[in-house]
Chain A
Amino acid sequence: MRIDVDRQKGRPAIVRPVGPVDVDTASTLRDTLRQMAEEGGESVIVDLGEVEFIDSSGLSALVSGLKALRAKGGMLSLSRAHPQALTALRLTMLDRVFPIFPTIEEAVKQGPTIP
């Protein structure tokens, strides 16, 4: 898995993991999100469009990133999740925790809101 980070003025940063987010790779995602929280309380969209598989470690990394960003006044939302990821989010009830958008545009437009 690799992680692309796309920062543009006037909208949340987009973090795009490419490849499976599992027990081997989840820590990289966790570290990236925590690092972004450290650098300032920005809001982040994690784009799951290139993630065909996510396991519980991946979910943990997302929750960990969410908490770190929230603590700094930021927020984390998800976009383009595959059915496998949606199932995993639903079964763990995390679909109630993350704002989930079908496209990046909608995620940007709706804007991450602090619940």
Chain B
Amino acid sequence: MLGEAWAQLTAGGLAVCADGSWVLGEAPKPSVPAAVRRAVDERSSLEAHAARRRVWWVTAPDRAEPGGIQMVAWAREGRGWGALLRGWSALLSRVIEESSTADGLTAELINAWDRLTFLYDLAKIAGRHTDLREMLEAIVRLLARVVSVQDVMLVVARPEGLASFTASGSEVPLPEVLVGSVAGANRPLALEEVRPALERAGSPLAWSGDLLVTPLQGPGGPGALGLVNPPTDRFDAHDVQLLASVAEQVSALIEAADTRAEREKNQRLEHELEIAANLQRSLLPLRLPEAPNLRAAAYLRPARRVGGDFYDAVTSDTGAILLLLADVAGKGMPAALLTALVHAVFISEAADRADPGDLLQVMNRRMFPDLDRAETFVTAVVIRLEAGSPRFAYASAGHMDVAVWRGTEERIEFLPASGLPLGIEPEAAYRARTVPLAAGDEVILYSDGVTEAEGADGTLFGSEGLSAIISATFPAQAADQIRAIVAGLDVHRADRPLRDDVALLLVKVGEENGDAVRPFVLPARRASVSDLLEMARQAIGGLEFAGNRAEPQFVDEFVLALSEIVTNQIQHAYLGQGGSIEGRLTIGRDQVSADLFDHGVLFQPLGAERPAVDPANPPERGYGLRLARALLDECHYTRRGDGRNHWRLIKRAKGATSP
């Protein structure tokens, strides 16, 4: 058996020599190289000797006097098999240590061979069984067969308590007593050593013919492994040695099996979560419906792999667009499962219902039994828009206020909820409100994960944070504005983990603005400025003004001015303490402008009047603003009523006249 194992591993062979002759295993083919023959004759060792297209080893004899054994092994390739071979050889000789007569040698050797094979079989069992119980049952049966005992008893500590296994299938009598009898020992104990403890507790094992028990250090706590009634009268030293080494291996196998089970369980969960996340993503509309004058974009990010936030869209039979944003109370898998229900009910009811209030009412009625059973509720908002219509309708089931950006007035309105969350009251009524809507307006739906995102100092992003970014980035495209809001949330959270799901949906009314608008949000840190400057360089670098590419000098000068203003915001508005700077680059027909907003302290315009520099005593600071003003056509600073600083930078192409 051991020979087979070796052959499998090395594509070679294995034999044992005693006093210069082969006693076990086949003689090597092709014939033995001279160096190997010599090592055996001279009773010396040979390490990884290449001959006859094989690699050869001969282990040193296990003792000096005649009768010692040597292992001869050969392999196709010399991959460090020497160490394995020496380990086997040491085991083999230890087992036959006490036999010194040449007559007894062969029998001892066969015995030792069997036991080595046993250790190999043990490892094979562990590889075959994924179930720990089955593995341990196989081990005790194998052990009983190899040592020919009447029974083998194994007691291991598991999280759920002691688990016992016997080769015979009978119960282990008083397993905790057996474990207790070897507690504190570090080697197998003989019957006479454990009998007092067994007797005291009334264990019938105290009256076995013979007994050999060893403690077992499992990951779950102490256990025991015992051999009962050997074929001969008494257990001998070989049995003691074997039992000790088996116990060691069994402990290691249990630990390995536990680790593997844990890993497999995690992999399975991970796999299931991945499926759930894909499924949830697949429920979202592939693309949001669009209509002339209506552009929509949405964003969803669960705090965990899956979440309770959700959005959906349906185009009704009459061409109206119905948009839903919902938030199932709770997070993770339980909430995610219910988003599928919201999706199914919304899709089936929305198409032929003109009124968002009616829609929420019927959705509530249909979902109530399930939500009630799950002891949860859903907040949801539905809006209905029609191309060319100067108004929209909305109804809200306890959801966050609907934000409406009034583009021409550059201000934001928040429209409150109009009813209870879904799943609270089966007959709840929801009333829709109709709100006027003009070109340039935007409707923004969002979940509480947006407004309640917490910053490093515990401040909430709030509806103010949302308004600030919308006003700073208007009139950028819907998808760009959504990205800016998400970037703003990231800056606000400052690397803290996402605590709640985030959902956002933004609809713009009116034609896309002819000017290219590039919104941005950046943390007020020096390191992020270069990103903004690079973005500006990219955006302006390829520009053509009245048919001419922007000159490199134009780009350099605008970027330097931008850099000076942003640095000023970081150092003076935020005093280097961080914060966020948001805004937009606007590329016009013959000019470039930047609008930069911060939430820092009021700017004290030092040197705003630009007094002449005294060559004898030039000031050490204050060149940034001088430089920016000199490089730009216009550079305005405004302290806004909402506590924000607003910088507006304009640079016109050569030849362009100021308006």
Contact = CB atoms under 8 A, between A and B. Distances in A.
B557 A87 contact: yes
Interface string B417-440: 000000000000000000000000
Contact of B563 (A55, A91, A97, A115): A55
Nearest to B629: A91
A47 B624 CA distance: 22
Interface stretch (B77-85, B113-121, B611-619): B611-619
Given A23-B567, A24-B526, A87-B557, A55 B615 contact: no
Contacts of A88: 560, 627
A59 B526 contact: no
A91 B564 CA distance: 14
Contacts of A97: 613, 615, 618
Nearest to B557: A87
A67 interface: yes
B620 interface: yes
Given A23-B567, A55-B624, A63 B619 contact: yes
A28 B616 CA distance: 24
A61 B620 CA distance: 8
A22 to B, nearest CB: 8
A107 to B, nearest CB: 18
Nearest to A66: B618
B612 A84 contact: no
Contact of A92 (B553, B616, B630): B630
A14 to B, nearest CB: 22
What is the interface residue range for chain B against chain A?
Answer: 20 to 34
A60 interface: yes
Contacts of A94: 613, 618, 623
Interface in A43-83: 53, 55-57, 59-60, 63-64, 66-67, 83
A109 interface: no
B441 to A, nearest CB: 40
Interface string A86-115: 011001111011000000000000000001
B545 to A, nearest CB: 20
Given A55-B563, A67-B620, A94-B618, A84 B613 contact: no
B621 interface: yes
Interface string B524-555: 00100000000000000000000000000100
What is the interface residue range for chain A against chain B?
Answer: 20 to 34
Contacts, number: 58
A53 B627 CA distance: 13
Nearest to A23: B567
Contacts of A53: 560
B448 interface: no
B618 A91 contact: no
B592 to A, nearest CB: 18
Contacts of B626: 56, 91-92
B490 interface: no
Contacts of B621: 60
B294 interface: no
B556 interface: yes
A99 to B, nearest CB: 11
B556 A59 contact: no
B522 interface: no
A63 B618 CA distance: 7
B615 A59 contact: no
B627 to A, nearest CB: 5
A96 to B, nearest CB: 5
Nearest to B631: A91
A23 B618 contact: no
A65 to B, nearest CB: 10
Given A55-B624, A64-B620, A91-B631, A96 B526 contact: no
A97 to B, nearest CB: 5
Nearest to A22: B563
B501 to A, nearest CB: 38
Contacts of A22: 563
Contacts of A93: 612-613
Interface string A3-26: 000000000000000000011100
Task: Choose among A24, A53, A63 the residue with the greatest number of B CB atoms under 10 Å from its CB.
Answer: A63
Nearest to B617: A67
Interface string B611-649: 011011011110110110011000000000000000000
Task: Choose among A67, A92, A96, A97 the residue with the greatest number of B CB atoms under 10 Å from its CB.
Answer: A92
19 contacts: A55-B624, A55-B627, A56-B567, A56-B624, A60-B621, A63-B618, A64-B620, A67-B618, A83-B553, A84-B556, A88-B560, A91-B626, A91-B631, A92-B613, A92-B626, A93-B612, A93-B613, A96-B615, A97-B615
Given A56-B567, A97-B615, 13 more contacts: A24-B526, A55-B563, A56-B627, A57-B567, A59-B623, A60-B620, A60-B621, A67-B618, A87-B557, A88-B560, A92-B623, A93-B612, A94-B623
Which 4 pairs, one residue from A and one from B, show the smallest C-beta to C-beta distance?
A91-B630, A56-B624, A56-B623, A93-B613
Interface of B: 526, 553, 556-557, 560, 563-564, 567, 612-613, 615-616, 618-621, 623-624, 626-627, 630-631
Interface of A: 22-24, 53, 55-57, 59-60, 63-64, 66-67, 83-84, 87-88, 91-94, 96-97, 115
